[in-house]
Amino acid sequence: MEFAVVSLFPELILAASSHGVCGRAGDRGLIEVRCTNPRDFAPDVHRTVDDRPYGGGPGMVLKVEPCRTAIESAKGGLPEGSPVVFLGPQGRIFDQTVARELAELPGMVLVAGRYEGFDERLIESVGDDEISLGDFVLSGGEIAAAAIIDAVTRLLPGVLGDDASAEQDSFSEKLLDCPHYTRPETLDGMQVPRVLLDGNHREVSRWRLKQALGRTWARRPELLAQRTLTADEEKLLQEYKAEASEAGTGRR
């Protein structure tokens, strides 16, 4: 998978994609991340990339020509069928389904903005897609581009080990995760749940599923509404609710 990122701050992208899972995927040739800086395509001596908005108002708008030349240069190095994806708050909202869709592509140009954003005609003329991370305000598109590279890379064949892939495939994003614990067994008087210490793997699995169901019910009920529970899962959730109301935790 080839990612070409167009950004005024390439260091931000390269820092994020050179560590951990993405870093290893890069070392193994499973992904390639390249950056193109519109500033390198600004024709004037001051290397100007922004200008004042027509109609007035605060902030600056990215100029079409340096961005368009940078995008075309970036796209030139990618395989056929690699779309130009703008990052911006007006885009469709990124989630695991969008990540899976992007993971089928041979590559993509991710265009990160700064200031108030791009001249709309740039998006119209060269954009194939526009993606947002959600309803909050970032200072630019770089962190969004890095998030997309990370989420897509994890889905590529061979990037994760078999166990991690299987776990990711199964019920990962429709249920929240169960709680995790490591040593020490007691921390400031807080005990690790007994079942995790007893070595009964069937009971551990049932406890984890019950916690996942219960926490999803308490914190993200809209996720549960999108999922049909088996009779067994329904029973575990009822148990969780009974225990939660007894302990005075969870949802009322």
Q: Which of 51, 101, 169, 232 is catalytic?
A: 169
Residues contacting 244, CB < 8 A, separation 6+: 214, 218, 250, 251
Whether 116 is a known active-site residue: answer yes
Q: Which of 32, 89, 150, 208 is catalytic?
A: 89
Amino acid at 84: V
Buried b (16+ CB within 10 A) or exposed e, 46-57: eeebbeeeeeee
Whether 100 is a known active-site residue: answer no
Whether 167 is a known active-site residue: answer no
DSSP 138: -
Least distance to ligand 9D3, CB of residue 156, Å: 22
User: Which of 107/141 has CB closer to ligand 9D3?
Assistant: 141
Q: Footprint of ligand 9D3 on this chain (CB under 6 A)?
A: 87-89, 113, 116-117, 132-134, 136-138, 140-141, 144
Least distance to ligand 9D3, CB of residue 140, Å: 5
Radius of gyration of the chain (CA): 23
Distance, CA of 243 to CA of 250 (rounded, Å): 9
| Strand, helix or coil for residue 108 | strand
Least distance to ligand 9D3, CB of residue 225, Å: 25
User: Which of 99/209 has CB closer to ligand 9D3?
Assistant: 99
Return the active site residues. Answer: 89, 116, 154, 169
